[in-house]
Structures are given as structure tokens and as C-alpha cells.
Amino acid sequence: MKKSTTTSPHRIYSMSFASVYPLYIAKVERKGGRKADVDTIIKWLTGYTEKSLESQIKKEVSFETFFEKAPKLNPNRKLITGVICGIRVEEIQESLMQEIRYLDKVIDELANGKKMEAILRKASPETVNILKAGFAIPRLGAPAERALAQAGILNMKQVSRYTEKTIASLHGVGPKAIKILQTELKKLDLKFKV
């Protein structure tokens, strides 16, 4: 997981997950929800079992450790979108902060009465295949991601069908996005079309 690149990490990273967990429950219960629903969401998001979740809470691990030790972050969490704490969750660049905000967002949805089936996102068959194959486009920033989507480029295999110059010419795709794409292509043993 990408660490914070700022000189001082966000305070929430070192906060105990156990100190915030009761607040999640209280928020949901105030609106008629249940603790079991909070646990279901956390387990869906992180891959923790009931027993391992309880263990992390008892150990009073930090948010950073909680997410670093998560058994299997659900790939469908990337389908969580919207605003939380005044920021679009899908545009957050720091991966740890994004994981924390994914959790905040789904807890907020539960507290606001959203149906559990809608909260526990399910990907379309095409998205599932892309995620399973490991060809998903990495986080690039909203303008670049929108530009690729508008061009019908939805995965790294499709990126490799274009020249670097063509991708760079898309409005919203800057040098930083190109560098991220180059790194990802190399990891997948792919490259831009020559």
C-alpha cells in the first residue's frame, strides 16, 4: 500500500481502529441500523472474518495496520464512488486514505438507509474479468481516468493497443498519468504500441 508522501502523515493513520469502530456502530444504530450490518460491510471490504475483526479491535491496531493486515481487500471496493468529508472518494490519490474513506463512505450509505445489496457492490462480468486478469487501469486521477473511459479504453490491454503519443493526446492525460501507465504496462509485460 502506498504510504503518505507528505512530511507528516494524516493523524487518522495512527488512530486506533477500535476507537472509531464504536462511532461507526453508533452512527448506524441512530438511524435504525445494526452492529451486525457494520460488521458485514467491514468484512466485505477487508476480508476479515468475525474472529479476525474482533482480534484487530482487541489489539487496538491503528488504521494503517488494520488495512495493511487486511486479508483480502475486496476488488469491488473500487466501484465505491461519491463524496465523503467533502472529497470524491474515487479521486483520492493516497491509497491508505482512500481505503479509509471507502469504509467511511459505505458506513455513511448504511446510516442513510441504502440497501445492503447496493452497498456491497458487485462488478459487471466484464469488470470482474478485467480485475481477475489483473489488467485494471491503476489510479491516474479523475481527468485521465475520464479521458480513457470516454475513448473506450477500459483496461491495460486496451492501453497497449495505442501509441504513447495517442494516449498522451487525450485531454486530461498528462505526464504523470503516462508515467503511471508505463510502469503498469511494464509490470504486465506489455508496452505502448510502437
Q: Does a structural domain hold residue 74?
A: yes
Contact 130, 155 (CB under 8 A): yes
For residue 135, the model assigns a pLDDT of 74
End-to-end CA distance of the chain: 32
For residue 129, the model assigns a pLDDT of 62
Burial of 97 (0-12, 13-18, 19+ CB in 10 A): buried
- Residue after which a domain boundary falls, among 119, 152, 172: 119
Q: Does a structural domain hold residue 140?
A: yes
Q: Does a structural domain hold residue 100?
A: yes
For residue 93, the model assigns a pLDDT of 83
Which pLDDT band holds residue 6 (cuts at 50, 70, 90)?
Answer: very low
What is the rounded average pLDDT for all residues in the chain? 88
148-156 contacts: CB < 8 A, separation 24 or more? 148/173, 154/126, 154/130, 155/130, 156/181, 156/184, 156/185, 156/188, 156/190
For residue 38, the domain's CATH number is 1.10.8.290
- Domains held by the chain: number: 2
Q: Are residues 23 and 100 in the same domain?
A: yes
Which pLDDT band holds residue 114 (cuts at 50, 70, 90)?
Answer: very high
Which residues form the domain of 134? Answer: 125-187
Q: Are residues 80 and 28 in the same domain?
A: yes
Angle at 23 between CA 83 and CA 31, to 5 degrees: 75
pTM of whole model > 0.85?
no
Q: Does a structural domain hold residue 6?
A: no
Q: Are residues 56 and 110 in the same domain?
A: yes
Q: Where are the alpha helices (DSSP H) in 76-188?
A: 95-111, 116-119, 125-133, 142-150, 156-159, 164-168, 175-187
Q: Are residues 21 and 104 in the same domain?
A: yes
Q: Are residues 103 and 37 in the same domain?
A: yes
Comparing 12-21, 111-120, 137-146, the range with the smallest average pLDDT is 137-146
- 146 or 44, which is more confident? 44
Asked if pLDDT for residue 5 goes beyond 50, the answer is no
Q: Does a structural domain hold residue 69?
A: yes
C-alpha cell at 2: 502506498
- 142 or 99, which is more confident? 99
Q: Nearest 5°: phi and psi at 16?
A: -70, 130
Per-residue pLDDT averaged across 48-70, rounded?
A: 96
Q: Does a structural domain hold residue 56?
A: yes
Asked if pLDDT for residue 80 goes beyond 50, the answer is yes
**Max mean pLDDT range (79-93, 128-142, 163-177):** 163-177
Cell 447496493, residue located: 118
Q: Are residues 82 and 25 in the same domain?
A: yes
For residue 57, the model assigns a pLDDT of 96
Cα gap 42→75, rounded to integer Å: 14
- Residue after which a domain boundary falls, among 79, 97, 119: 119
pLDDT in tens, 35-58: 999 999 999 999 999 999 999 999
